[in-house]
Amino acid sequence: MATETSNLMEKLVSLCKRRGFIFQSSEIYGGLGSCWDYGPLGVELKNNIQRLWWQAMVREHDNIVGLDASILMHPRVWEASGHVESFADLMVDCKNCKQRFRADELSSQVCPACGGPLTEARRFNLMFKTHMGPVEDEENIIYLRPETAQGIYVNYLNVMQAYRLKLPFGIAQVGKAFRNEITTSNFIFRTREFEQMEMQFFVQPGSEDEWMEKWKAERWDFYLQLGLNKDSLRFRQHGPDELVFYAKEAWDIEYQFPFGWKEIEGIHNRTDFDLSRHAKYSGKDLSYFDEATRQRFIPYIIETSAGLTRTLLTVLVDAYDEEPERVVLHLHPRLAPIKAGVFPLVRRNGMPQRAKQIYEMLKPHFTVFYDESGSIGRRYRRMDEIGTPFGITVDSQTAQDDTVTLRDRDTMQQVRVKIDALKEELEKRIND
């Protein structure tokens, strides 16, 4: 049954807190605006998304390698990248209630909160500033990175030389980014601290259109692999008014959230802008010498930039469903934080002992959860609500023929499986 979209977000926030996916940061102190903590299930889910991305981007490509660059970087990086000068939103303040809004998100000339008058629009830089070392003066200003991409550009030479890479090749990175966003809402959709999964693909100028098509197709497939509903996904091309001046072409993959179609990933043709700027600002030669053509040039870059935490919200929204008897997260088994619940049907006749043995047997291979409290129906529902795809139950027949029931979360159907065959059966079903 489809869930009413109007209150879906509220229900999801409540489920995430109640079941340990996501908590508000510093909640016992009243919370910190737009910062969130990932609980036991949230961190498993986030790790699973990240691992699948790494698998799809790095492991499955011979010419893409990984990187983990520092969050704090030389301040010149952000001058070269253009962030110091122009990474800003136009914002307005309400003269009455003092709330601040993004000018491009306002539909009228008055404050949407109190109806009060607004100030003129001003530019507001989104980078968080801090100081490096003990002296807090202008010279020691340093920024928390607002994107992971620059860590890749400034390491392009190091990585290429160390790994003897030839064009085309890519560098992939997952990590935290920080933006002092003015408008934050919709749970973890737009937060001030978040994680990105970015891959920068360096290509010969002239071949970028072909690579753009290839990456658009691969990235689309990735979201299908996560099990997202195809009808809730679409591509949207940036129009001329939206396209940043250095980009030649830009596409967003968007998802239809309860609050509208929104970007989950950007795929951009960034031309030779980034490397040219870093070459200019650092004074280092960042050109590439192509031995086949004996030509020297600055490579073009196709970027695929996805939000890890935003993808996590997407898979939760997509998976949430309410049925008359239960709330269920239809998470793809590969994403599910816990793969199987293990239960004794009742707490007697040796069933708990047998179920615990099975739990111990599976534990090295899967995230499994043992539960013997409450009726079996309630235990199944608790697992459905957190998206656990399989339930394994020891019953009276187990002692006779070494079989258990294996319950499928989505169909709720049960089949009998030999205990010896459980591991293989789970592997097969998870990877199907």
Indicate the residue type of 100: R
Residue 318 interacts with ligand ATP (CB under 6 A): yes or no: no
Extended strands (E) in 276-424: 288-290, 295-297, 300-307, 320-323, 326-329, 340-344, 368-370, 390-394, 403-408, 414-418
Q: Walk across the sheet containing 390-394 and list its strands.
A: 368-370, 340-344, 390-394, 403-408, 414-418
* Binds ligand ATP (CB under 6 A): choice among 111, 160, 264, 342: 264
Q: According to the binding rule CB under 6 A, does residue 175 interact with ligand ATP?
A: no
The reply on whether position 83 binds ligand ATP by CB under 6 A is no
* From 153-161, 211-219, 260-268, 280-288, span contacting ligand ATP (CB under 6 A): 260-268
From candidates 19, 46, 83, 179, binder to ligand ATP by CB under 6 A: 179
Rounded distance, CA 121 to CA 93, Å? 8
Q: Cβ-count burial of 54 within 10 angstroms (0-12 exposed, 13-18 middle, 19+ buried)? A: middle
- 88-93, strands of its sheet edge to edge: 100-102, 88-93, 122-125
CA-nearest of 153, 42, 150 to 87 is 150
Does position 196 interact with ligand ATP (CB under 6 A)? The reply is: yes
**Choices 98-106, 134-142, 239-247, 303-311; region in contact with ligand ATP by CB under 6 A:** 303-311
Part in contact with ligand ATP (CB under 6 A); list of ranges 6-14, 23-31, 220-228, 306-314:
306-314
| Closest separation in Å from C-beta 195 to ligand ATP | 8
Stretch touching ligand ATP by CB under 6 A, among 157-165, 191-199, 280-288, 289-297 = 191-199
The structure tokens listed for 208 are 């970028």
What track of x and - describes contact with ligand ATP for positions 135 through 174 (by CB under 6 A)?
A: ------------x---------------------------
Q: Does 270 bind ligand ATP (CB under 6 A)?
A: no
Q: Does 309 bind ligand ATP (CB under 6 A)?
A: yes
Which pairing describes strands 141-143 and 169-178: parallel, antiparallel, or unpaired? unpaired
The type of residue at 208 is E
| Complex with ligand ATP: residue 196 or 403, whichever CB lies closer | 196
User: Among residues 46, 310, 332, 334, which is the contact residue for ligand ATP, using CB under 6 A?
Assistant: 310
> Which residues, at least 6 apart from 335, have a Cβ–Cβ distance to it below 8 Å?
45, 48, 49, 52, 226, 227, 315, 387
Q: Which residue is nearest to ligand ATP (CB)?
A: 307
The structure tokens 């400034």 sit at 154
Q: Where are the alpha helices (DSSP H) in 226-307?
A: 273-282
The smaller minimum CB distance to ligand ATP, of residues 181 and 274, is found at 181
Binding string, residues 208-247; x marks residues near ligand ATP by CB under 6 A: ----------------------------------------
The residues that touch ligand ATP, with contacts defined as CB under 6 A, are: 147, 179, 181, 190-191, 194, 196, 263-266, 305-307, 309-310
